[in-house]
Structure 1
């Protein structure tokens, strides 16, 4: 398990290893478009799950590359937020947590 490059066009992902400092985005071997480097915790949906890929696209295009997101509960206390599970939740997530 390592960082992944994903192609939103082809709905594919490729593992890139664990060393983030030496990772680069590359072009998709299938369509040639630029792939997006995301966190190693990203679990790609099946190619056939178009709604899930729409959600991934919405999140990535708004700067969420499946890195940890925290919400401040009170001064000095933060709670890790779970990523959304569907497109509807993703829209609210982006609205609430986009920097």
Structure 2
């Protein structure tokens, strides 16, 4: 397992192994790259709305890590097991941030 270097400007992600050293800026546009865990599933380049949601979540501190199941016992019996599913549209993302805002770890 590894991580992904993500450029939200170019809408691209590159898989890299953990501990790898590499560029901190996009080789195409020069924007700063964001490192996200392997569980981040980048949308297709043409899916601008989904990229906007991913950027919005990362800017608000959600870096696609699992949220602690102990804090949200209502999720323990859902089809997602102990994990909260990340939203796919901006309306849901805003609700998600309101509900789980205390779980943020970092910002871009």
Q: TM-score range by the shorter chain?
A: 0.7 to 0.9
Other-structure match for 2:50: 52
If the length of structure 2 is used for normalisation, what is the TM-score? Answer: 0.76
Other-structure match for 2:98: 95
Kindly state the Cα deviation for residue 94 of structure 1 after the two structures are TM-superposed. Answer: 1.0
Higher strand content, 1 or 2: 1
Structure 2: state its 5+ residue gaps: 75-81, 103-108
If the length of structure 1 is used for normalisation, what is the TM-score? Answer: 0.83
How do 1:19-98 and structure 2 match up within 5 A? 19=18, 22-23=19-20, 26-70=24-68, 71-73=71-73, 79-98=82-101
Other-structure match for 1:2: 2
Q: Tell me the matched-pair count.
A: 93
Structure 1: state its 5+ residue gaps: none
